[in-house]
Amino acid sequence: MQKDTFTIATIQASPVFMDLDASIEKACDLIKKSAKKGASIAVFPEAFIPGYPDWIWHVPPGDMTLNQDLYAKLLEQSVTVGSRETDRLCESAKEAGIYVVIGVNEKNTQASGGSINNTLLFIDPEGNLFGHHQKLIPTVAERMIWGYGDASTVTVYDTDICKVGGLICWENYMPLVRYALYAEGIELYLAPTYDEGQTWNASMRHIAKEGRCFVSGCCMVLKKKEVLKKLPELEPYYTSVGEWINKGNSLITDPDGKVLAGPLSAKEGILLAEIDLHMLRASKWNLDVAGHYARPDAFELTVRKRAAPIIREAEEDEEIENEERNLS
């Protein structure tokens, strides 16, 4: 039977920048620590493994040789879903007995293996990888690194603690995508990000109030020395950057937009908050944007849930065509 309360751990940490194995090892240690603090679910930042490619905001696109070299290095350290790397994360979640949601750079191994998606992985306490969301629209310079995510990965998962889902960074500024999650009854809304600061935190509070859900705005911290230690060739491009590239400012909010934990600035740490589903249900009394506050007679949202793989077998195409004919 589902309990009305449980604890979330929002993990603000630095990856071991551009090191796949070491970042996974650090994530496993943080999963264990979160469980010891009483958390039922641990949330990690966007692109935690093996790190956010911050150089995209500093290296001009015209520096082709450097950009190609950096891309190759990131691809080599990115995650293959269903590999030993994700197995290690799943084993850690099982040992800790908690849910884990973690941001990774994902290789598109279902096709060429040469492209990368910005992805959230959802793991249950039995160690099963049960969810997989790809960022739909990389923002500005991010498009030099990440592909466009599959729209079928926008979904809410009905777990034994609550209905949970997530969007990555500026996807959270896409009203129709947010509404799709509200309409599926999301209760714990996860927003792993690389953004930080007052405007972002105000958005997290707004989303919580709008969707009547608990929100985790989970951001990584990153120092310049960590980037240059791994990629010293970037030093000429970081002369104007201070000690901190990203200070984090992660937070957790309740369905009224009240801050329950954080913001945590310029340091690593684990934010904890109690999720109270009774309080969430009570908040729907005066606002439910995908319920009594909706007007489906006036407005309609169509969500296409079918996956769009690059390669399909001919038999699959025939099945799809038959389904579409039956629906028409």
Instruction: Report, as residue numbers or ranges, the catalytic residues.
Output: 46, 135, 169
Strands in 68-211 per DSSP E: 99-107, 116-123, 129-134, 156-158, 163-166, 188-190
Strands in 35-162 per DSSP E: 41-43, 99-107, 116-123, 129-134, 156-158
Two tokens at 121?
């992985």
Cis amide leading into 50 (omega within 30): yes
- Between CA 22 and CA 202 the distance in angstroms is 33
Percent helix, percent strand, percent coil in the chain, to nearest 5? 35, 25, 40
- Between CA 126 and CA 252 the distance in angstroms is 25
Query: Are β-strands 214-217 and 244-246 bridged in parallel, bridged antiparallel, or unpaired?
Result: unpaired
Residue 142 is given by DSSP the state G
Among the listed residues 2, 3, 7, 4, the one whose alpha carbon sits nearest the alpha carbon of residue 273: 7
Backbone angles phi, psi at 28, to 5 degrees: -60, -40
Query: Are β-strands 156-158 and 163-166 bridged in parallel, bridged antiparallel, or unpaired?
Result: antiparallel
Two tokens at 123?
């793991």
